[in-house]
Copies of this chain bind each other. A is one copy, B any other.
Amino acid sequence: MKNNIKENRAEHGMTQDALAETLGVSRQTVISLEKGRYNPSLELAFKLGAVFGCRIEDLFDPEED
């Protein structure tokens, strides 16, 4: 599952640390997410959409990978 979390985070001028804290997860989780090491829970996906002000479909692409 591909995503553009890293790009969105950059646009919002956030560090991985700051994003992790905002989401309520560990920094490792953010790193692994951005690296595409696993697919997040739906709950985390919703939180990301809330933080970046966009829909889940705009952050994740279920087709690729």
Residue numbers of A with Cβ under 8 A of B are 1, 39-47, 55-57, 60, 62
B46 adjacent to A62 (CB under 8 Å): yes
- Looking across the interface, which residue of chain B has its beta carbon closest to that of A50? B62
Q: Which listed residue, B41, B43, B55, B60, touches A55 by the CB 8 Å rule? A: B55
User: Chain copies in the assembly?
Assistant: 2
Contacts A56-B57, A57-B55; A39 near B39 (Cβ below 8 A): no
A42 cross-chain contacts in B, Cβ below 8 A: 1, 39-42, 44-45, 56, 60, 62
Alpha-carbon distance between A39 and B46 when the two chains are bound, in angstroms: 12
For this complex, 19 residue pairs linking A to B, each with C-beta atoms less than 8 Å apart, are A1-B42, A1-B43, A39-B41, A39-B42, A39-B43, A40-B42, A41-B41, A41-B42, A42-B44, A42-B45, A42-B56, A42-B60, A42-B62, A45-B45, A45-B56, A46-B60, A46-B62, A55-B55, A56-B56
